[in-house]
Amino acid sequence: MSRPSVSDLVAIVGVGLIGFGAWLIFPPAGYIVVGSLLLAGAVLGARGA
């Protein structure tokens, strides 16, 4: 199993911070934003992008 790269860690932290910022405005929005970003990442990963 390979170790995650720095760019992977930065992306994970970025998704978390975006979700946290949305959560500060409206708590359910944080979960929606993070879920949407994770879904988009999964689709792009499955397509090989």
Query: What is the DSSP secondary structure assignment for residue 27, as one 8-state letter?
Result: H
> Per the domain annotation, does 24 fall within a domain?
yes
Mean pLDDT across the chain, nearest whole number?
90
Task: Provide the token pair at 23.
Answer: 């959560």
Can you list the alpha helix ranges (DSSP code H) found in the chain? 6-25, 27-47
> Per the domain annotation, does 19 fall within a domain?
yes
pLDDT confidence bin for 49, thresholds 50/70/90: low
pLDDT confidence bin for 16, thresholds 50/70/90: very high
**Residue 34: which domain range?**
6-47
> Per the domain annotation, does 1 fall within a domain?
no
pLDDT digits (tens, 9 = 90+) for 18-40: 999 999 999 999 999 999 999 99
What does the pLDDT average to over 4-19? 89
What does the pLDDT average to over 4-14? 87
The C-alpha atoms of residue 4 and residue 25 are separated, in whole angstroms, by 31
